[in-house]
Amino acid sequence: MIPTLSSLISPVTPANALASILQIAQGLGLSTTSWGPFGMVISILETMAEVVAEGSEDVAYTAQGGYASTAAAMVDSDGNAVTTWMDLVASEVYGALRLPAVQAAGLVAFANTSSARGPFAVGALHLKHPVTGATYSNTVAGEQIYGTGAPGIPYYSTMRFAADAGYPGKSGNAVGGTVLQMVTPFPGVSVCALGAEGSSDDLVGTDAEKNFALLARCKQKTEAIAPNGADGAMVYVATTPGIVALFGTVSAPINRARRFLDSASGVCSLYLANADGPATLSDAAIVQEAEQALVVRTGDNLQCLPAVDESIVVTAIIYVTAPVSGLGALAANAVAAYFASLPIGGTSMAIDGVVPVSGIMAAIQSVVPSAVTGVNLLAPLVNVVMSGPSAVPTLDPSSVFVVVTAAP
């Protein structure tokens, strides 16, 4: 039976440390019974016991940080995950690095009834989320807002934006239907809603990789030593940006991958997705090259393909104790981020390939826990069974989040 770390090493309490010190003193022939509870000698020994107890906590804490499975579970006194020890183990033992936060990014469309504006240098044009306050800047030099110069006749054009550094990962998310605001407005120029006029359906970022996700990738990497391109090795290569970058530049980091073997044809498919949904064909081609070079044996049949978008309509009534500005949009952002964290093909419950309604509920309730008293989820009513192993869930733009200030 494999022992647990806690069974091998654990911190001692000050009382236990003091008892051990007194036992040693008695073994040396000292008359410990003559040391009163408030005397100088016992006070010195109690101080020593405190130091010994603190030192034993440091030893146990360091031991916990030395093993991947226990380092992944480390938290501070407030219950927040400690990432430094897991980073050290992942790097030193597995040669793996934590995936950083990815900024929310995509195309934003403008309607212009005046003359053209730009071209703009990188970071010269700024937008703001009307609810969260997240800010965004243009990322490609030379792009401009085209115009017709004819009042009343709008000309639509797009520019690429990304959330600013102050809004990493999910904090910069903006769901479909959101109309970002121009920090410095131009006469005749308006921002179109996300999902309209060629803009991206939404802007979705991902937070830095969590400890247990990094632990899973570390274990996947060890499968690279297995023959015939083990599943874990394929997923590790596809979802590690530093490896993929050796073979080309993808439009967005791949954060999910799933292998599916057709036993009849012998063809192995690796479905790919990023935080915003299915990967592009060009990104899949880059990953294919990496997999063929590093994992798959010559002659084996592997095809890297974009995952298939499966849009889910969510309708919910959110009950709050007091009004919360923009809570509906915040809830939509939270659900979109939850979908972006799910594996391709859905998660496993009673069957494989499910988007659990409990996760949707939890995502909505997590937005403002102190204010949300309940959630009535009208759609979906039951766990959503994904259409197949290649399906990746995304939030349908027609989703509705109604906020009611009352107890459910």
72 token code pair: 């992944």
The more confidently predicted of residues 39 and 55 is 55
pLDDT digits (tens, 9 = 90+) for 113-137: 998 999 999 999 999 999 999 999 9
How many separate helices (H) and strands (E) can be counted in the chain? Answer: 11, 18
pLDDT attached to residue 212: 93
- pLDDT confidence band for 5 (50 / 70 / 90): confident
Whether residue 148 contacts residue 113, with contact meaning beta carbons closer than 8 Å, is answered with yes
pLDDT tens figures, 348-359: 755 568 999 999
| Residue among 3, 1, 14, 4 at smallest CA distance from 64 | 4
Contact 356, 297 (CB under 8 A): no
Enter the pTM of the model. Answer: 0.67
Secondary structure class of 112 (helix, strand, coil)? strand
269 has pLDDT over 80: yes
Give the pLDDT confidence score for residue 25 in this predicted structure.
86
Say how far apart CA 205 and CA 189 lie, in whole Å: 27
Is-contact 139 162, C-beta < 8 A?
Answer: yes
pLDDT for the residue numbered 149: 64
Q: 239-261, pLDDT tens digit by residue?
A: 999 999 999 999 999 999 998 88
| pLDDT of res. 295 | 85
What distance in Å separates the CA atoms of residue 193 and residue 108, rounded to the nearest whole number? 8
- Nearest CA among 219, 212, 159 for reference residue 186: 159
Q: How many CB atoms are located within 10 Å of the residue 298 CB?
A: 5
228 pLDDT higher than 80: no
Q: In this predicted structure, what is the pLDDT of residue 227?
A: 47
pLDDT band at 224 (very low <50, low <70, confident <90, very high): low
Q: 374: which DSSP letter?
A: E
Instruction: Please tell me which residue, 381 or 60, carries the higher pLDDT value.
Output: 381
Cβ atoms within 10 Å, residue 92: 10
pLDDT-above-90 percentage for the chain: 59
Rounded Cα distance, 183 and 194, in Å: 17
CA torsion, points 161, 166, 170, 174, in degrees to nearest 10? -40
**What are the start-end ranges of the H helices in 245-401?**
281-294, 327-341, 357-365
Band of the pLDDT at 3, cuts 50, 70, 90? Answer: confident
Q: Rounded CA gap, 364 and 341, in Å?
A: 15
What DSSP line would sit under 280-324, residue for residue? Answer: PHHHHHHHHHHHHHHTSPTT--EEEEEPEEEEE--EEEEEESS--
- For residue 274, give the 3-state DSSP assignment: strand
